[in-house]
Chain A
Amino acid sequence: MTLNNIWVFAQVANGAPTSATLELLTKARSLSSDVTAIIGGDGASAAALGEFGATKVYAINHGATLPGVAIAAALKSVIDGGDTPDLIMFPQNYEGRDVMSRLSVKLDKTVITNNIDITDGGNGVTVVTPIFGGNTLVETTFTGAGPFLAAFRPKSFVAESAGGAAAAVTAVAVPDLGAAGAAQVTAVHVEETTGPKLDEADIVVSGGRGLGEASNYALIEDLAKLLKGAPGASRAIVDAGWVPYSYQVGQTGKVVKPTIYLAAGISGATQHMVGMKGSKNIIAINKDKEAPIFGVADLGIVGDVHKVLPKLIEALKARG
Chain B
Amino acid sequence: MEVMNVIVCVKQIPDPAAPGALDGATNTLKRDGKLILDDSDAYGVEMALQLVDKAGGGEVSLVSMAPNGETSGLRTALAMGAAKGVLVSDPALQGSDALTTAKILAAAITRLGGADLIIGATESSDGYTGTVPEQIAELLGLPSVTFAKKVSVEGGVLKVDRQTENGYDEVTCALPALISVTAGVVEPRYPSFKGIMAAKSKPVEEVTASDLGITPVGWAGAGQKISNITQAEARQAGEIIEDDGETFTKIVGFLENLKVI
Contacts and interface: CB of A to CB of B under 8 A. Distances in A.
Which of B131, B139, B174 has the largest number of chain A CB atoms within 10 A? B131
Interface stretch (A36-44, A45-53, A162-170, A173-181): A173-181
B113 interface: no
Contacts of A93: 165
B155 interface: no
A184 interface: yes
A90 to B, nearest CB: 10
A114 B45 CA distance: 26
**Chain B at the A interface: SS class:** mixed
A300 interface: yes
B215 interface: no
A143 B224 contact: yes
A298 interface: yes
Of A97, A135, A136, A141, which is in contact with the most chain B CB atoms at under 10 Å from its CB? A97
Nearest to A273: B235
Contacts of B226: 138-141
Contact of A123 (B168, B172, B227): B227
B183 interface: yes
Contact of A137 (B139, B144, B146, B231): B231
A126 interface: yes
B143 A301 contact: no
A299 interface: yes
Given A66-B145, A101-B133, A252-B182, 8 more contacts: A93-B165, A97-B146, A131-B20, A132-B20, A137-B231, A140-B227, A283-B251, A315-B249
A230 interface: no
Q: Which 8 A-B pairs have the closest CB atoms?
A: A303-B243, A110-B223, A101-B134, A239-B184, A298-B238, A182-B143, A300-B240, A105-B138
B204 to A, nearest CB: 27
Contact of B141 (A101, A179, A297): A179
B185 to A, nearest CB: 9
B243 A301 contact: yes
Contacts of A218: none
Interface in A117-171: 123-124, 126, 130-132, 134-144
B122 A189 contact: no
B258 A97 contact: no
Contacts of B229: 136-139
B241 A302 contact: yes
Interface of B: 19-20, 22, 27, 97-99, 102, 122-123, 128-135, 137-139, 141-147, 149, 162-174, 177, 182-184, 222-232, 234-235, 237-243, 245, 247-252, 254-255, 258, 260-261
A16 interface: no
A246 B245 CA distance: 33
A299 B134 contact: no
A189 B167 contact: yes
Interface residues of A, number: 91
Interface in A238-280: 238-241, 245-246, 251-252, 259-260, 262, 277
A81 interface: no
Contacts, number: 249
Contacts of B240: 289, 294, 297, 300, 302
A316 B249 CA distance: 10
A114 B128 contact: yes
A304 interface: yes
Contact of A299 (B130, B235, B251): B251
A101 B169 contact: no
A101 B146 CA distance: 11
A184 B251 contact: no
Given A97-B131, A101-B138, A141-B227, A185 B170 contact: yes
Contacts of A141: 224-227
A302 B239 CA distance: 11
A197 to B, nearest CB: 9
A56 interface: no
Given A104-B99, A179-B174, A301-B251, A296 B258 contact: no
Contact of B234 (A13, A135, A142, A298): A135
Contacts of A311: 245, 248
B238 A246 contact: no
Nearest to A309: B248
Contact of B238 (A181, A227, A241, A300): A300
Contact of A260 (B248, B249, B258): B258
A111 interface: yes
Contacts of B147: 94
Contacts of B133: 101
Contacts of B164: 94, 188
